[in-house]
Structure 1
Amino acid sequence: MRVRRYRVLHSTVYVYSDEVTSSYGRAYLTPRAFPGQRLLSHDIRVDPVPSDRSVGTDVYGNTTLYFHVTAEHRRLEVTGESMVEVTNPPEIPAPGPWEKACPDIENGPLAVEFTLDLNPPEITPAVAAYAAESFPPGRPLLEAVQELTARIHTDFTYESGSTTVSTRVADVFADRRGVCQDFARLGIACLRSLGLAARYVSGYLATDPPPGRERMVGADATHAWAAVWLPDGSADGHWVDFDPTNNQFADERYVTVAWGRDYADVPPVRGIIYTDAKESTIRVSVDVAPLEACTDA
């Protein structure tokens, strides 16, 4: 079992051309705690200091910070700092045919929501046909997911700036290019077209890979991947994370912050401002630094 500890620093700076009189914000910057990931410490700093702030939990169990800045300002900085311990996932027993992993109200009631398409829909005939190539009848689920992950990695080009957070899956599929969140959303749409449950995962990748491993795309930035649901006899079932951008299942280099049905459920920072400013800029910086060498436990 491999265990790694990281210090994660995620800073978002907004600069406006005129005074902002009021700024409401919501941040998903607190890494989750679950088997395989421990949150050792965490803090979120907002400058200017908010007149009101509160921490809550959304419907998916993600921790969110709400804040309201009432002091006039032309610059707003939101910084999350965390220490996290991540363990590589245990080996999953090979599941049966993928058809047996489609949840229903009796088998996986909590996963059924993650089989549903979005509104507006993302599952097109072209996406469904693309997914079907990797999922012939009776094929083991993880074998099929692994092939789909590899195909997306091969068939689509990673190109920073080629899309925005509002780019549709159909457009990514047609252009054959995008970034990590696009490839995650494409993989999710493919799985949902088959009746499988898939969720969107937001987080980070370690910037310093363990010895003998290559540096991966998405380091020094927020990262996104997907997870597929497996039945295990419980109401919750089991989720396996896979990363089409880097063509692999997630390991101890992945730090999970939040998950939901889509990016729109868990953006790192979003909000509303009151201002006459005509222009604004945003700068995001991320650093995921190992606190110690990879250890075996």
Structure 2
Amino acid sequence: MALFKIVHITKYEYSWPIKESINEIRLFPHNFDNQEVLQHQLLITSNPKVEISTDFYGNSVGNFNILEPHQEMIIESQILVRVNHSLKIPAIDTTTLADLDRVKEKNSALQRLCIPDKIVNQKKIDSILKKNNFKEKSIIEIGQKCSTYIYKNFTYTKGITNIETTVDEILDHKKGVCQDFAHVLLQLLRSAGIPSRYVSGYVCSNNSTLRGEGATHAWVEFYTPTQGWLGIDPTNNVWTMDNHVKLSVGRDFNECSPVKGSFKGIAKQNLSVSVAISYEDGRLFEEKNEVKLKKVSDEAQRQIDLLEYQLQLQMRQQQQQ
């Protein structure tokens, strides 16, 4: 059993005032047998009303708008959570893919989570599975071997990928972070016919040496007919346990992104995310990350350049007066 206080701050900064910011957040930790949410508070710029609903996967989703012009938006989530996983690893289970097929026939939701993405380098995925003789192994063995393959053959490297990096790109350079490794593992498991889903959350090292602490973390859950959804973390090659705090699940990152939205206006935006984790023994781990965002279009860039030129011209005229 472990108790964590987690403060997650998402900060958007805009080069020019924007308005009518429309946002969707999945920052509400799951409350289930192994994870008890003791406190949760949201603090958002302008204190907008947050409408909360439940999505297809059972995640709590918040939606809010900020209508007035602003050049900064901060979303702060404060969580106090107790995690208690009675099992560090799954029970011995000889359930096979054939056993799983009989269950999938009656469950369209599981079938949807078995469909791999269409990628150029699918032969590489198929080769990895073939080398591991996946057809002759139990579902749990397949999951564990695929996670181990990623852990041993891919290098944990920050700053070279972003939320738009494809599985093909990750397979080419074999480097990335937790969300990249989760997407590769999803492709492997789904190509084997195993229902799998992306998990967004936090990893709280708690004196162990786990990669990904101090930022939002990602791992994978896959389905077995006998034990339900089992979590495995390919970044650290461990089954999820007391160190993992779950926020949301979905088919991929896009379906369980902690924060996403749009706005009216022409401006460049900078995004930074900081996560601070407080432990029961008084230790505090905090890290801030600058997030790579999609480049603005050429037309938007021309308009931004024009606005900046007009501002510089206006300042020169004021100085000459």
TM superposition score normalised by structure 2: 0.82
The residue aligned with 1:113 is 112
Cα pair 2:21 2:65 within 8 Å, conserved: yes
Q: Secondary structure at 1:115's aligned position in 2?
A: coil
The residue aligned with 2:234 is 244
The residue aligned with 2:303 is none
User: Displacement of 1:123 after TM fit?
Assistant: 7.4
The residue aligned with 2:68 is 71
The residue aligned with 1:290 is 279
> Which structure 1 residue ranges, 4+ long, deviate > 4 Å from structure 2?
120-123
Cα pair 1:207 1:219 within 8 Å, conserved: yes
Is the deviation greater in 136-145 or in 258-267?
A: 136-145
User: Displacement of 1:17 after TM fit?
Assistant: 1.1
Q: Residue type matched to 1:199 in 2?
A: R
Distance 1:123 1:266, change over 3 A: farther
CA distance in 2, matches of 1:229, 1:73: 44
The residue aligned with 1:216 is 210
Residue 274 of structure 1, aligned match among 231, 239, 264 = 264
Pairs aligned (count): 279
CA deviation profile, 1:256-293 (whole Å, cap 9, x unmatched): 0000111110111010011222x221110012222369
1:224-239 equivalent positions in 2, closer than 5 A: 224-232=218-226, 238-239=228-229
Comparing both chains, which one has the higher relative contact order based on Cα–Cα distances under 8 Å and sequence gaps of 6 or more?
A: 1
The residue aligned with 2:104 is 104
Q: Residue type matched to 1:86 in 2?
A: V
TM superposition score normalised by structure 1: 0.88
The residue aligned with 2:84 is 87
CA deviation profile, 1:132-175 (whole Å, cap 9, x unmatched): 32244332222232222111011001110111111111110111
Residue 6 of structure 1, aligned match among 4, 12, 16 = 4
User: Displacement of 1:122 after TM fit?
Assistant: 7.7
List alignment gaps of at least 5 residues for structure 2: 283-321
Greater radius of gyration (CA):
2
Q: What is the Cα-based RMSD across aligned positions, in Å?
A: 1.9
Residue 204 of structure 2, aligned match among 203, 206, 221 = 206
1:29-44 equivalent positions in 2, closer than 5 A: 29-44=27-42
Tell me whether 1:144 sits opposite 2:181 in the alignment. Answer: no
User: Displacement of 1:98 after TM fit?
Assistant: 3.2
Q: Secondary structure at 1:246's aligned position in 2?
A: coil
Q: Secondary structure at 2:104's aligned position in 1?
A: coil
CA deviation profile, 1:170-202 (whole Å, cap 9, x unmatched): 110111111100101101110111111111000
List alignment gaps of at least 5 residues for structure 1: none
The residue aligned with 2:311 is none
The residue aligned with 2:313 is none
- Identical positions, percent: 26
CA deviation profile, 1:26-64 (whole Å, cap 9, x unmatched): 1111101122111111121111222x4211111100011
The residue aligned with 2:17 is 19
**Greater helix share, structure number:** 2
CA distance in 2, matches of 1:292, 1:83: 15
